[in-house]
Structure 1
Amino acid sequence: MPLTDLAIRQAKPQDKPYHLPDGGSLFLEVTPAGGKLWLFRYRHNGKPGKLSLGKYPTVSLASARDKAAEARMLLDEGKNPSQEKKVAKASAKEASANAFEAIAREWHLKQMVLWTPAHAARVLDSLETDAFPDLGKIPVSELTAPQILATIRKIESRGALETASRVLQRIGSVMRYAIQTARAQTNPASDLAGAISSAKVEHRPALPRNELPEFFKRLEAEPIYQPTRIAMHLLILTFVRPGELRAARWEEFDLVRKEWRIPAERMKMRAPHIVPLSSSALALLDELKPLTGRNALLFPAMTDHDRPMSENTLSYAMGRMGYKGTATPHGFRALASTVLNEEGFDPDVIERQLAHAERNKVRAAYHRAEYLEERRRMMQWWADFIAAQQGGNVVPVNFKRA
């Protein structure tokens, strides 16, 4: 007679294991310890075999019958059920080892030697929050562009466009690592270039990095007012917005701490901003002090020292140098961002130094001085890089990247 759940529950252990048949080569083995295990007996190519189907009650009577039916189908196809189970188990183990989350954590561990602890934590947190829930268990060899896009769209839907862009970039990096380590053959994230929505931004022309030496030659040859020349150099070294530089006041500079602290009311995002001062920036301030140090403003207008220089002063100077329509003072911010990102500096540190918007007001207050030591090192590297473009002897080395 076929087994019933009641008969199974009432089956008592004995001194030796014994079997209760259900029919169709399916048996329930009851052990002396009281355990109950489903077994399927069969013959394949004339040799007897036994397949374990799991323990009762984890595997119910109905499930055990379904598994036995699957085993019979394999036998009808000339396959050995036990061997097929081993293959399936090995495939599942391989799929788990090659799942996106496993590969991403492996990639993250390799990258940590190049990152600061804070940046490494932010990268992992972004993946754990926005990528692993949807993509974590999918083998990298099976991951598709539509699956990644669906994940990115979820981030976009909450208005976090910058986060969406970074998560997509990090997914792409993980997939490149998977290809490099022979766990995947294609990078579906690369097919999503341009798929992320972006806020409308007014782009201002910027110099390519390879044109900086020529720019400095022209700046040196241009017959302009010396404070204006210094302003141009400081703008490049600090990559603040031109309006923030024009209205700079001597009282905002702490030369002992080597910091320029711009008050909130003068910042576009209405939050205080700290600019670490490189040795080059400090030297320019020393040169400027005898010229305008008796005024409150670093760069007063020539006709009224209580007002800052005109917003057109630097633009006109660049126009006379031959850059009208091809580069603007504001474009040095984009140039700095491009070079620093290309050199492998932490994008969060770069964004913080650019004083870009932070939507969350609590986080904005917290971030005001965040990454300050990293920003000091980055700004000095940038100053050394700029000095090299001017024909200086200092050749900047990004030790983190090296």
Structure 2
Amino acid sequence: MPLTDTQIKKAKSNGKVQKLNDGDGLRLEISKAGTKSFKYRIRANGKDTNITLGLYPPMTLAEARAKRDEVKAAVRQGIDPIKCKRDAKLKQLAVEQAEQQRITFSQLFEQWHDHNESEWNYKYATDIRNRITQHLLPVLGDLFIDEITPQQIIYALKQMEAKGLGDSIKKVKQYASRIFRYGVGLGLCAVDPVRDIPAADIFKKPKKENLSHLTKPQDLYQLLNAIDAYLGDISTATALKLAPHVFLRPSELAGLRWDEVTLTKTKIGDATLEHGAVLIEWERMKMKRPHVVPLSKQAKELLQTMEAFKDSSAFVFPSPRNPNRPIHRDSLGAGLKRIGFNGKQTAHGFRHTASTLLNEQGFNRDHIEKQLAHEAGDVRHDYNKAEYLKQRATMMQAWSDYLDGLKAGADVVPINHHKKG
């Protein structure tokens, strides 16, 4: 007689394996432990084999009969249900393993950053982390990398554009592409979705960098005295005072380290620098060339005021929040805004002020360009960082003296007695 639901429900374990036949090869098997399962006997590949259709009660009697009929029909068509079941199990296992190997964009970023960090300098590694953390992780961080589309990346970049950060989009996009290509190389994702983002017509062209700078003596008189009266933190205040004297870019000045500074007489090449020098290695320079700044007497004295912090920080201008980090390059621009020179003078503009006036006043253009570190090239090639150093030292001292005269309100005689050549 066929089985009934009531009969199956009431069947109990008796310490032995029980087999209750339903008919047409289907039976309910009760294990010694009391587990109930539906089984079906088939003949495949020339031999009889039992297959488990499912467990009771998750599978009902009606479902077991329907499954039995399905298997029977498959066998008639020459299909081996045991092999199909094994293949399905292997496929499911492969899917589960693939799921375990899937990682999010945030996880991929951390792997990529950790892998490369030892090859980067601190400033570069920090810049990458800050940009990705601020602009991409809030949108993409929790998404699986193999599901991220170009449209999702564009959405993240468009949010930057809406915040007025269009000038940073290109760099963030480049970092994102490098992260995905790292994932492709490790077999964690198939493609770099950044590659399909059009290079043009998607984002507004960024505004050119504001390089506002002053060159009129009366304007510089007001600027230099306003900087002297700045009441912000001592690191930013001193860096602002030093900025007009050294021609460094904001990032180079803000990140200045004590191991880059010599405040005693020093000889470099055939030049003796009476007041010391700043020597920045190629890694921190925009043009990837080592660079020497001969210090004027005034620049040396400003640096000496920061020596009180030398034992507690490796940086000449430590952050007031964390002495293990320097002030941010934007601190200089923020300081200039606080003293009323927003739109008139930028931190980078000090370089243009010096370049304009020194050229007007007769200094050799090659000496000026060399001191501005405008040369680009491969650091592996020979490079004479001390080139024109005697002349540059003379120029830097004359420039600082000129600034002091302007600050004092004197009727400063232009330093144009220096002939070009």
> Under TM normalisation by the shorter chain, which class is it?
0.3 to 0.5
TM normalised by structure 1 equals: 0.47
Which entry has the higher C-alpha Rg, 1 or 2?
2
TM normalised by structure 2 equals: 0.45
